[in-house]
């Protein structure tokens, strides 16, 4: 047994990723008395501005976007009952190929060793038993998500602390179901680009998923947390399906276990299996 509060640390790239990707496990484990630490790496300055203005468009004031998203993140954390929010404060690098990739202070141009050292310091402070981040593609290729993955894996290596490390993922069956529901709701489903899919495999075959966590009881918290990020167009899109459909679709969060010292058998249904 561990000599400190059982702790989950989720490392995310932008304000709102905590809600869409891990809102269910953050809410569920908080309800189970586990300390939940959220590390958000960037300020989200490349997000939508007032009225949906994109970076570079008139009406997009990056400083105002950062302030809005900071307040939204804090509101989201209240819905998810996150016990500790840590901000690394790097500048949002924008999508791959954007000039913001190489702007001063961007997360993407920050040396991995530097970001990892800062995160390692937080790991030594909180001593997380379980760490969650993205896979090496940041799931869909966003530079800040890739960088969050890199600094997390480097910090795990530096500290050797977490007993279990997970990457968020999606089973292919859920991705098919997602497309079906979107179409049913009359929402535009982007046609998959076969060449892109080959370059960047998203999600995993169901049988490759190691960890399935039921978070249906926390669908509303997850929905409310995402709703707190209402300035971002992508989230409004998700919220359009309503809390019931949202919970149905997002009620199981799935992970790939990539590091484990507990020996908990796979597949598992609990990130803390083997730890309590
Ligand atoms: Zn993001």
Q: Which residue has the higher pLDDT, 148 or 241?
A: 148
Ligand 1 centroid–CA 226 distance in Å is 13
The pLDDT confidence band at residue 236, using thresholds 50, 70 and 90, is confident
Mean pLDDT for the chain overall: 93
Ligand 1 centroid–CA 40 distance in Å is 10
Ligand 1 centroid–CA 83 distance in Å is 21
Ligand 1 centroid–CA 144 distance in Å is 7
The burial class, CB within 10 Å (0-12 / 13-18 / 19+), for 23 is buried
Ligand 1 centroid–CA 88 distance in Å is 14
Which of 178, 168, 172, 175 has the alpha carbon at shortest distance from 204?
172
Whether pTM exceeds 0.85: yes
Ligand 1 centroid–CA 94 distance in Å is 9
Ligand 1 centroid–CA 58 distance in Å is 23
Residues near ion ligand 1 (CB < 5 Å) are: 13-14, 17
Ligand 1 centroid–CA 1 distance in Å is 34
Ligand 1 centroid–CA 18 distance in Å is 9
Q: What is the pLDDT of residue 196?
A: 54
pLDDT digits (tens, 9 = 90+) for 173-204: 988 888 887 788 777 666 655 555 455 678 99
Q: How far is CA 148 from CA 37, 155, 183, 242, in A?
A: 15, 10, 32, 30
pLDDT digits (tens, 9 = 90+) for 65-116: 999 999 999 999 999 999 999 999 999 999 999 999 999 899 999 999 999 9
Helix (H, G, I), strand (E, B) or coil at 254: strand
E strands, the chain, in order = 7-12, 35-42, 84-90, 130-133, 164-169, 211-214, 252-260
């Amino acid at each position: 047994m561990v000599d400190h509060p059982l702790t989950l640390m989720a490392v995310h790239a932008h304000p709102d990723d905590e809600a869409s990707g891990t809102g269910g496990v953050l809410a569920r484990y908080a309800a189970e008395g586990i300390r939940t630490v959220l590390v958000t790496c960037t300020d989200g300055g490349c997000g939508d501005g007032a009225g949906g203005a994109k970076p570079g468009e008139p009406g997009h004031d990056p400083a105002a976007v950062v302030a809005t998203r900071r307040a939204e993140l804090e509101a989201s954390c209240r819905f998810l009952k996150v016990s500790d929010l840590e901000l690394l404060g790097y500048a949002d690098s924008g999508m791959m190929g954007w000039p913001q990739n190489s702007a001063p202070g961007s997360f993407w141009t920050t040396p991995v060793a530097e970001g990892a050292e800062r995160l390692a310091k937080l790991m030594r402070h909180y001593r997380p038993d379980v760490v969650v981040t993205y896979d090496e593609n940041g799931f869909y290729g966003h530079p800040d998500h890739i960088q969050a993955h890199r600094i997390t894996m480097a910090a795990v290596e530096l500290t050797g602390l977490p007993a279990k490390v997970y990457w968020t993922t999606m089973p292919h069956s859920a991705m098919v179901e997602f497309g079906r529901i979107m179409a049913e709701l009359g929402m535009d489903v982007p046609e998959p680009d076969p060449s892109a899919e080959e370059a960047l495999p998203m999600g995993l075959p169901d049988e490759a998923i190691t960890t399935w966590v039921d978070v249906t009881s926390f669908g509303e918290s997850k929905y409310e947390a995402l709703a707190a990020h209402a300035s971002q167009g992508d989230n409004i899109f998700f919220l359009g399906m309503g809390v019931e459909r949202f919970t149905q679709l997002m009620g199981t969060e799935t992970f790939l276990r990539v590091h484990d010292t507990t020996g908990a058998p796979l597949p598992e249904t609990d990130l803390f299996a083997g730890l309590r």
